[in-house]
């Protein structure tokens, strides 16, 4: 009886303490569970993933990210990788409720032993607890955090499936080497995708979660191998691999492999412009963390040609205007091997240039030392261009010997050469003298039918200047604007044979203001001339008279309609290209001429997909019923895609201007590009004091614009103009771009008829006329209707002409 009372008392005491303990646990859950982060946010959690920009052919252009992470869905992660991490981190993951009581008890027992032996303590956090800590808590080391971690783990297990929890863990965990997630780690440590990892490599990755720096594969190789082998043992115990496989894996050396260099399309100005657009559209957070896939319009082949021809064209211009001196000067050349590498190289030099120091000067060449310790020779023929630079881009006397250009100790840029301009071979280690141009420029090439920008280079070198002169620089286009004045006239009933008086023009601008007296580039007057000649020869006086007759408001409206500039001042000087615009805008405007008068918007982006592959942006928004069919049998009606582009001019007027601009290339100021021997149209542009040089041109399916000028507008030189500074760049680009293309003629609309006319008078050709061309007339018009001479009103108060007054020279 007494024994029963004792037993009953003990049971009662046990129940009391059990109830007290349960109450304490419940109170702990209540107390520490208050104010915990909302774990349901993990349901929609998307880890930060890099955004990639791809060129038109799929090649990679750029990557933007804050973390080096590759997200892999749980179903795509190899089973062995999953099993290895479970064996190492949480073998009971699929069986516990978020915390593992047996694991905790086992850790307590092991740690009691380890404390006595001075060994490392082991933890008992489950994968779910690690997810709670990594996503919702801090790394604070305290019992309070461990309690909160356990509470959150229980809640997470109630809310999510096991696979979702494991997916979050394997993609979020930091594994060293800048790697977030197992996929990024596999690439960074072993240069392999997850599916190609060996047993030993997989085990090493699973050894890293607790403390990746403690198991660095190079600095702490022994510890890393020890930890890896422990994981291999766990894999064998859990049946992931056999004992034989485990033994072999343990014997494998721990070797890391540098990640293969990702090949990028070299288009920094293009990529940066796309980046800016993405920030404007979605914000920086989505750009750097959203995992978007951006399909750009860039054509890598055309981009490479554009980059090279622009650089070569700017270098050619720069050499015409003299030598500005060495990069630096060494005090002596006895220790040049050590002194030269210490010279800081200025940004902006092409990759095939290198710094060199002048060691000896001879009668016909110069001996140079290179930064790599080697030596070379610069023949005098490779420095004859180096006349002294003078103010306003003038040059001094021609050098007669190497000492007129260089002296001992000069640090200079050089480039290897193998043959002379005549094709004669040089000896090995022969170099040519180079200097980084001060002048800048840009080139844009786009599809005139869609506005897709196929190539764009915004300057000589991106490292030297990130300012994009194709999209950010506002400059006067000069005569490159004139076609839009004449196009307005074609829309208002004039013909290419309309006669306009080419004679002195004086405009009284009002009290206290000087009279405005524009001139032709040649300072000559040619009397009544056809409108075609006005464009082909870039006649300023004819353009002003035409603009005065049409009205400055009409000129301003056409500049707005074609996207050149929104608010062009309504003054006559604007007809000569005094209003500022961007190269990109002007290229798109020329595209609207060649495509038959349809409005286009230049774009650098075709399509954007989110991290799940869903298209969230498309440049081409035309409806297409039937385009999403899963298969094609040939019996269905071919889907018809409507042309939704707005018309900005008539198709007939657009073709008449195309024909006139063809004449610019064949007979006018653009003759330099006629060597391409394919149907081309174009127009030069030069502004006051030759501050800006342009060439805008096109084939039936490609528009290309080139700008050359100094960032701080100063003269390019007395003899420089669009035809000399910009047209050669256009010529060289189009020569290569169209090399494998057929000579496609421009498309003639139905409302146009071609008439043989005298090129000088614009009237019907007569027997014996020598200078005869085919002229484009609209239905209902003819050369005989173009006899009257448009004279304009000189020396009156017809309107102000304020602004830059002599733009549009040539």
Q: Taking the CB of residue 742, how many other CB atoms lie within 10 A of it?
A: 7
Pick from 312, 427, 329, 324: which is nearest to 378 by CA?
Answer: 427
Cα–Cα distance list, 440 to 216, 311, 706 (Å): 48, 9, 11
Contact criterion met (CB below 8 Å) for 682 and 698: yes
Q: How far apart are the first and last CA of the chain?
A: 124
Distance CA 385, CA 402 (A): 11
Distance CA 608, CA 606 (A): 7
Q: Determine whether 245 is exposed, middle or buried from the number of CB atoms within 10 Å of its CB (0-12, 13-18, 19+).
A: middle
58: left (phi over 0), alpha (psi -120 to 50) or beta: left
Pick from 181, 132, 139: which is nearest to 160 by CA?
Answer: 132
Contact criterion met (CB below 8 Å) for 124 and 150: no
Contact criterion met (CB below 8 Å) for 597 and 650: yes
For 75, the token pair is 């179903």
User: Choosing from 125, 479, 573, 699, which is the catalytic residue?
Assistant: 479
Pick from 235, 269, 647: which is nearest to 467 by CA?
Answer: 269
The dihedral sign for the CA sequence 15, 18, 24, 25 = negative
706 forms beta bridges with 443, 695
Beta pairing, strands 752-758 & 702-709? unpaired
Distance CA 573, CA 576 (A): 6
Contact criterion met (CB below 8 Å) for 752 and 763: no
Using the structure block, give the residue that is written with the tokens 């115990």.
237
Respond yes or no: is residue 479 known to be catalytic: yes
Rg (CA), the chain: 37
Q: Which DSSP helix (H) or strand (E) runs through 13?
A: helix 2-33
Distance CA 767, CA 786 (A): 20
Where would I find the beta strands (DSSP E) of 374-521?
375-379, 389-390, 394-395, 410-416, 431-434, 440-446, 453-457, 499-502
For 202, half-sphere exposure in the C-beta direction (CA atoms, 13 angstrom radius) is 29
DSSP letter (8 states) at residue 726: I
Pick from 45, 43, 40, 46: which is nearest to 155 by CA?
Answer: 40
User: Choosing from 89, 201, 775, 804, which is the catalytic residue?
Assistant: 89
Distance CA 122, CA 119 (A): 9
For 418, the token pair is 């193998």
* DSSP structure string for 748-778: PPTTEEEEEEETTT-SBP-TT-SSEEEEEEE
Respond yes or no: is residue 647 known to be catalytic: no
Beta pairing, strands 410-416 & 293-296? unpaired
For 239, the token pair is 């049946």
Distance CA 555, CA 568 (A): 8
Interior angle at CA 145, CA 143 and CA 149, nearest 5 = 115
Interior angle at CA 750, CA 745 and CA 754, nearest 5 = 65
Distance CA 382, CA 399 (A): 12
Annotated catalytic sites, by residue?
89, 479
């Amino acid at each position: 009886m007494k024994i029963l009372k004792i037993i009953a008392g003990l049971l009662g005491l046990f129940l009391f303490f059990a109830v007290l303990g349960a109450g304490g646990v419940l109170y702990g859950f209540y107390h520490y569970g208050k104010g915990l982060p909302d774990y349901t946010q993990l349901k929609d959690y998307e880890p930060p993933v890099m955004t990639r920009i791809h060129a038109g052919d799929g090649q990679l252009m750029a990557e933007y990210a804050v973390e080096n992470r590759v997200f892999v869905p749980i179903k795509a992660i190899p089973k062995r990788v999953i099993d290895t991490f479970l064996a190492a981190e949480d073998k009971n993951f699929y069986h516990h409720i978020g915390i593992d009581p047996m694991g905790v008890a086992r850790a307590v027992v092991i740690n009691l032993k380890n404390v006595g032996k001075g060994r490392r303590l082991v933890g008992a956090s489950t994968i779910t607890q690690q997810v709670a800590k990594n996503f919702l808590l801090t790394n604070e080391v305290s019992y309070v955090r461990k309690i909160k971690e356990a509470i959150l783990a229980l809640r997470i297990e109630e809310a999510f499936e096991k696979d979702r929890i494991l997916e979050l863990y394997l993609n979020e965990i930091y594994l060293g080497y800048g790697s977030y997630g197992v996929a990024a780690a596999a690439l960074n440590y072993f240069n392999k995708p997850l599916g190609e990892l060996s047993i030993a490599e997989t085990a090493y990755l699973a050894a890293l979660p607790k403390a990746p720096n403690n198991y660095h594969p190079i600095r702490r190789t022994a510890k890393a191998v020890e930890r890896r082998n422990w994981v291999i043992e766990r894999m064998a115990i859990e049946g992931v691999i056999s004992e034989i496989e485990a033994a072999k894996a343990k014997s494998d050396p721990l070797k890391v492999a540098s990640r293969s260099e990702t090949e990028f399309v070299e288009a920094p100005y293009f990529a940066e412009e796309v980046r800016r657009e993405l920030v404007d559209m979605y914000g920086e957070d989505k750009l750097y963390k959203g995992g978007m896939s951006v399909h750009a319009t860039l054509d890598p082949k055309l981009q490479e040609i554009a980059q090279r021809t622009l650089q070569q064209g700017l270098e050619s211009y720069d050499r015409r205007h003299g030598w500005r001196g060495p990069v630096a000067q060494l005090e002596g050349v006895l220790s040049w091997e050590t002194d030269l590498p210490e010279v800081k190289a200025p940004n902006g030099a092409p990759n095939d240039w290198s710094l060199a120091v002048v060691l000896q000067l001879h009668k016909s060449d110069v001996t140079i030392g290179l930064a790599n310790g080697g030596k070379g020779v610069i023949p005098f023929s490779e420095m004859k261009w180096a006349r002294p630079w003078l103010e306003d881009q003038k040059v001094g006397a021609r050098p007669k010997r190497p000492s007129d250009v260089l002296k001992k100790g000069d640090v200079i840029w050089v480039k290897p050469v193998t043959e002379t301009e005549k094709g004669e071979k040089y000896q090995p280690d022969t170099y040519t003298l180079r200097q980084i141009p001060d002048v800048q420029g840009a080139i844009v090439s786009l599809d005139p039918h869609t506005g897709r920008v196929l190539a764009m280079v915004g300057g000589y070198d991106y490292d030297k200047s990130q300012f994009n002169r194709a999209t950010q620089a506002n400059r006067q286009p000069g005569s490159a604007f004139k076609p839009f004045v004449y196009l307005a006239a074609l829309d208002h009933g004039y013909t290419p044979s309309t006669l306009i008086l080419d004679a002195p023009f004086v405009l009284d601008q009002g009290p206290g203001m000087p009279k405005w007296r524009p001139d032709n580039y040649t300072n000559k007057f040619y009397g009544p001339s056809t409108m075609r000649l006005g464009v082909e020869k870039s006649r300023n006086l004819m353009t002003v008279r035409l603009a005065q007759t049409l009205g400055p408001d009409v000129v301003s409206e056409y500049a707005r309609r074609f996207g050149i500039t929104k608010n062009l001042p309504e003054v006559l000087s604007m007809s000569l290209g005094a209003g500022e615009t961007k190269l990109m805008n002007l290229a798109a405007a020329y595209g609207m001429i060649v495509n038959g008068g349809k409005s286009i918007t230049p774009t650098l982006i075709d399509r954007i997909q989110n991290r799940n592959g869903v298209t969230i942006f498309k440049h081409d928004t035309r409806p297409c019923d039937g385009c999403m069919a899963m298969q094609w049998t040939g019996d269905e009606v071919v889907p018809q895609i409507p042309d939704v582009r707005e018309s900005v001019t008539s198709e007939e007027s657009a073709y008449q201007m195309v024909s006139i601009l063809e004449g610019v290339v064949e007979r006018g100021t653009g003759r330099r590009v006629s060597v391409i021997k394919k149907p081309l149209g174009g127009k030069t542009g030069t502004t006051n004091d030759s501050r800006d040089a342009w060439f805008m041109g096109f084939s039936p399916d490609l528009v290309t614009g080139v700008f050359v000028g100094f960032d701080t507008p100063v003269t390019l030189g007395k003899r420089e103009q669009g035809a000399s500074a910009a047209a050669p760049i256009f010529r060289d680009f189009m020569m290569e771009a169209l090399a494998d293309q057929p000579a496609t003629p421009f498309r003639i609309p139905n409302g146009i008829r071609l008439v043989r006319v005298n090129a000088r008078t614009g009237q019907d050709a007569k027997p014996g006329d020598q200078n005869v061309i085919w002229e484009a007339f609209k239905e209902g018009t003819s050369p005989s209707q173009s006899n009257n001479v448009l004279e304009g009103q000189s020396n009156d108060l017809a309107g102000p002409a304020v602004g830059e007054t002599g733009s549009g020279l040539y």
